[in-house]
Structure 1
Amino acid sequence: MPTSINHLAPPTGGIADNIAGFARALRAAGLPVGPGAVIDAMTALEVIDIGKRADVFTTLESIFVKRHEHALIFAQAFDLFFRPAEEWKSMLDSVPLPDHAKKKPPPASRRVQEAMARPQTHEEPKAQEQDLRLSVSDREVLQKKDFAQMSAAEIAEVARAIAKMRLPQAELKTRRHTTDPRGHRIDMRKTLRQALRTEGEIINFHRLGRLEKPAPIVALLDISGSMSEYTRLFLHFLHAITDARKRVSVFLFGTRLTNVTRALRQRDPDEALASCSANVEDWAGGTRIATSLQTFNKLWARRVLGQGAIVLLISDGLEREADSKLAFEMDRLHRSCRRLIWLNPLLRYSGFEAKAQGIKTMLPHVDEFRPVHNLTSIETLISALSSQLPPHHRSAIRPAA
């Protein structure tokens, strides 16, 4: 790893290698840096005084950073990669850096540090092929491994796999119409307007079809102590599908309900989850499912459950106050949405039985009961969300495989 930027040295030799290595680290950290940007960076360094750290920072930032959310990652990577040597420390410290480079390292700094620590290996093709086979085998094991039993490195790998997931658009037909060559309704206005060009003679009939939109998704996530690991990784999944499906609303509940929809819309996943955690005061604490559902039904249901919304309830159902209030609020939520899917990590046990009072109270009011404890269960959920259902479909309540 380089330790300094040499004073007034041309961008060849060691400097060129450093810039190329820096670009590789940025790519590993998630920035789209291509060979053209590396060539531009080397050319730009020829016309500046590379002994001035702030000038080098600004030059490389203007070339490598194309989006606002990448600026913090670049600043963190620059500080880690170009650490000044002791003999230049007094000179470089006297040169101020931009304000966003002086701030506390952002949550994405862990991803940057992992990218910096990644070894640059030059192995033979046979050795690379063997490593590839091992990595595929590791992924197969990781697919079925419980989130709660994973190490920090495995959780990071799962988070990267979830970030690549895409949810197919399960379309719902609306009452509105749009141009459709195969539609069953004639667009009389457009047809007659086209006929004016042929002196009133109708040559082509323009047709209309039902406008289809993806169903809104509303997620209610339990953040109690027993659910914290599962909820954190499921937030990665919700962040991954938010870009494709704009109508995604996310609420966290423990002893109170918190709307984190806006926080989860940040582009960088680490920034989004850090923002969610900052907005919640009772993470990994107790849980009051009935009270949280009552707050949601009273304040948010009419705002977010319109147009055939699908509700994902992520909780283990271990409610201390499992009384008529919980049954009433679950029934109200069930009637307000198109489809209610309960995701429970307790279903990872093959001999699971609904013996807890809270689970027995909630079960009659859900459409589907599914596990959410590993990557395979999330992929199965994606298939379920992509399927079409009749307007008032109520499937049999049974644990999904």
Structure 2
Amino acid sequence: MAGGRRTESGRAGGPAAGLAGADAVLLGFVRALRAAGVDASAERMYAFLRAVAVLRPGMRADVYAAGRATLCGGPDDLERYERVFAAYFGATAGSPPLPTVRTPPPPRPRLRARDAAGGGGTPGERDPLGPPTAALASSTEVLRHRDIAALDAVERARLHRLLAAFALRGEARRSARRRPARRGEVDPRRTVRELLRRGGEPVRLRRHARVDRPRRVVLLVDVSGSMAPYADALLRFAHAAARGGRTEVFTIGTRLTRVTRELSARDPDLAMAAVAAAVPDWRGGTRLGELLREFLNRWGQRGMARGAIVVLLSDGWERDDPALLGAQMRRLHALAHRVVWANPLKARPGYTPTAAGMTAALPSVDAFVEGHSLAALERLAAVVRGADTGAVPEAGAER
């Protein structure tokens, strides 16, 4: 760009050079859209911030219109945008605007300044970003970084609404299939058929190109006793991921249970009820090595894990022999395209992966990330789709 390379932490010459509170709210909204699968690039983000600055940042209707015009790249993004906007700002996008939205905005700051000259105005009255939108969403932005285990019932309900807007898509891979394209290699069969139809007259060369498809994603969610504070939120994250297809979900504890079918219900609460009925080992012990071996023998070796992105969501506590877990992780590492481990304990101050299970698994892990909060799950989604490399553990073998 003409103004030089710019990042989210600052925009040279933009509508807000420093990240004020409302800027942080709007950037958090963009991150939530990315987690839901909307391709909100940096250029679109800057256009959104400029549009909001020109309009009225404190008004929900203006923020909604600015984001819909600048952040959505196609029809597929519109539904996701509606879901994320409703979850993030606490109201449906189609809700009637506040009465103040219809008030002409330009004269208001000057009139307030004159009226406040005699009585002393408060700083909030002169804040061009206004409180309505920031007040609605700032608590959501704080919630993004809160530990899921520390949330109360109201905060968990809001978290569930945000998780319902998630989307998880595997890193793109180039498949063997080809499709007609304007550019690419010459398609000899289609070109010859066109020649025959025209009696041998010269025709335009027909071309084709390879099709990019997302890799399969396999989620192994720990539902043991030590993971009880996080299990419900992680399974709701898995439910949102399973909606996009090409995602398989298993629970691990003392048994291995495939719950992909149970998570196919559109309603998250119905899906959670189905999973609760299907999983027999809630809040039990942990047999990671044995269950990983069962997964590989029954599903993974036959093709489910081959070339896939396998994500383990667990704290790494293992009650069986850690050597068995290490051996099975090496098998998994050889089959999968990428192995990601999300550990909720990683975010705690002073945490080191000293648990026997984690120590045995880390050499076969490609990305070791946190899994304790909404922001951490957003980053996990970015790692899975290849937009973020993740934190490669020191003991891990980089591939």
Amino acid at match of 1:263: E
Q: Is the contact made by 2:218 and 2:305 (CA closer than 8 Å) also made in structure 1?
A: no
Partner of 1:172: 173
2:134 aligned counterpart, secondary structure: helix
Q: Is the contact made by 1:249 and 1:304 (CA closer than 8 Å) also made in structure 2?
A: no
Partner of 2:226: 226
Matches of 2:214 and 2:178 in 1, distance apart? 15
Over the aligned positions, Cα root-mean-square deviation in angstroms equals 2.9
Sort the Cα spacing of 1:242 and 1:130 in 2 relative to 1 into closer, same or farther, 3 A: same
Amino acid at match of 1:174: S
2:291 aligned counterpart, secondary structure: helix
Partner of 1:85: none
Sort the Cα spacing of 1:359 and 1:322 in 2 relative to 1 into closer, same or farther, 3 A: farther
Matches of 1:192 and 1:235 in 2, distance apart? 52
Q: Is the contact made by 2:285 and 2:319 (CA closer than 8 Å) also made in structure 1?
A: no
Q: Give the C-alpha shift of residue 192 in structure 1.
A: 1.3
131-140 or 217-226, which moves further after superposition?
Answer: 131-140
Amino acid at match of 1:145: R
Q: What does 1:51-66 correspond to in 2, within 5 Å?
A: none
Q: Give the C-alpha shift of residue 296 in structure 1.
A: 0.6
- TM-score, normalising length: structure 1: 0.63
Matches of 1:152 and 1:377 in 2, distance apart? 20
Amino acid at match of 1:141: V
Sort the Cα spacing of 1:247 and 1:229 in 2 relative to 1 into closer, same or farther, 3 A: same
Amino acid at match of 1:170: E
2:202 aligned counterpart, secondary structure: coil
Amino acid at match of 2:155: E
Amino acid at match of 1:292: L
Matches of 1:395 and 1:374 in 2, distance apart? 16
Amino acid at match of 2:192: L
The percent identity for this pair of structures is 37
Q: Is the contact made by 1:223 and 1:231 (CA closer than 8 Å) also made in structure 2?
A: yes
Partner of 1:299: 298
Structure 2 gap segments, 5+ residues each:
1-90, 102-124
Q: Is the contact made by 2:144 and 2:374 (CA closer than 8 Å) also made in structure 1?
A: yes
Matches of 1:355 and 1:234 in 2, distance apart? 23
Q: Is the contact made by 2:368 and 2:391 (CA closer than 8 Å) also made in structure 1?
A: no
Q: What does 1:71-110 correspond to in 2, within 5 Å?
A: none
Q: Give the C-alpha shift of residue 169 in structure 1.
A: 6.0
1:156-208: CA deviations, max 9, x gaps? 1011111112345632112222222222x211111111123332123211112
Q: Is the contact made by 1:231 and 1:314 (CA closer than 8 Å) also made in structure 2?
A: no
Q: Is the contact made by 1:191 and 1:202 (CA closer than 8 Å) also made in structure 2?
A: no
Give the greater-gyration-radius structure (CA). Answer: 1
Q: Is the contact made by 2:341 and 2:365 (CA closer than 8 Å) also made in structure 1?
A: yes
Q: Is the contact made by 1:369 and 1:398 (CA closer than 8 Å) also made in structure 2?
A: no
Matches of 2:392 and 2:98 in 1, distance apart? 54
Q: What does 1:158-237 correspond to in 2, within 5 Å?
A: 158-167=159-168, 170-183=171-184, 185-237=185-237
Matches of 1:395 and 1:165 in 2, distance apart? 22
Q: Is the contact made by 2:312 and 2:342 (CA closer than 8 Å) also made in structure 1?
A: yes
Q: Is the contact made by 2:195 and 2:203 (CA closer than 8 Å) also made in structure 1?
A: yes
Partner of 1:317: 316
Matches of 1:167 and 1:293 in 2, distance apart? 22
Q: Give the C-alpha shift of residue 306 in structure 1.
A: 5.1
Counting matched residue pairs gives 276
Partner of 1:32: none
Partner of 2:247: 248
Q: Give the C-alpha shift of residue 132 in structure 1.
A: 3.5
Partner of 2:142: 141
Q: Is the contact made by 1:218 and 1:304 (CA closer than 8 Å) also made in structure 2?
A: no
1:228-273: CA deviations, max 9, x gaps? 23222122222223232x1110000110100101111111111111
Partner of 1:328: 327
Matches of 2:303 and 2:250 in 1, distance apart? 11
Structure 1 gap segments, 5+ residues each:
1-114
Q: Is the contact made by 2:219 and 2:310 (CA closer than 8 Å) also made in structure 1?
A: yes
Matches of 1:175 and 1:395 in 2, distance apart? 31
Matches of 1:306 and 1:186 in 2, distance apart? 34
- TM-score, normalising length: structure 2: 0.64
Residue 338 in 1 paired to residue 334 in 2?
no
1:6-62: CA deviations, max 9, x gaps? xxxxxxxxxxxxxxxxxxxxxxxxxxxxxxxxxxxxxxxxxxxxxxxxxxxxxxxxx
Q: Give the C-alpha shift of residue 370 in structure 1.
A: 0.4
Partner of 1:154: 155
